[in-house]
Amino acid sequence: MAFAPSSMQVTSATFANHQAIPSKHSGEGDDISPALAWQGAPEGTKGFAVICHDPDAPLVKEGSYGFVHWVLYNLPGDVNEVTENTAVGTVGANDKGDAGYCGPMPPEGHGKHLYYFWVLALDHQTALPEGLTLAELLKEVEPHLLGMNRLVGTYQRG
């Protein structure tokens, strides 16, 4: 399957689609991951992965644009949400150079950025090691992708 949105729905109790992400989930605040929920995963889903990416960031890294804020994987197929500051799953590397969630914090004067929280539905339960980059994760899961969708949040530095 190609990387294209499916009918799966992704929501958050923290912010609505295309609305502001609260500052406690930003690099200016407590820097904790928001709660996410999803429904309507494709039949045969046995695992999930979550990614947060800011395509508006001016960073160019390894031939790709934007900034990776969160890579989370090895989520079981019976999970349909992650709580705020979740400890579920295995964390990958963000573009700050750490493992785990790194909240929004666009450069000063850069205006409002969009943050894409993607949920990927997979046809098997992964058991991948901690610390994978986004590119490494996508290489592993692309052949097993059943569907995906996103929630888009916004953030502008205060």
Condensed to tens digits (0 to 9), the pLDDT of residues 18-49 reads 999 999 999 999 999 999 999 999 999 999 99
Longest dimension (CA), the chain: 45
Beta-strand relationship, 19-20 and 145-155: parallel
Predicted model pTM: 0.94
pLDDT band at 64 (very low <50, low <70, confident <90, very high): low
To the question of domain 9-155 being in CATH 3.90.280.10, the answer is yes
Mean pLDDT of the chain: 93
Asked whether the CA dihedral 39, 13, 29, 26 is positive or negative, the reply is: positive
Domain limits, the chain? 9-155
Query: How many degrees, rounded to 5, is the angle at CA 105 between CA 102 and CA 109?
Result: 165
Q: How far apart are CA 9 and CA 133, in angstroms?
A: 25
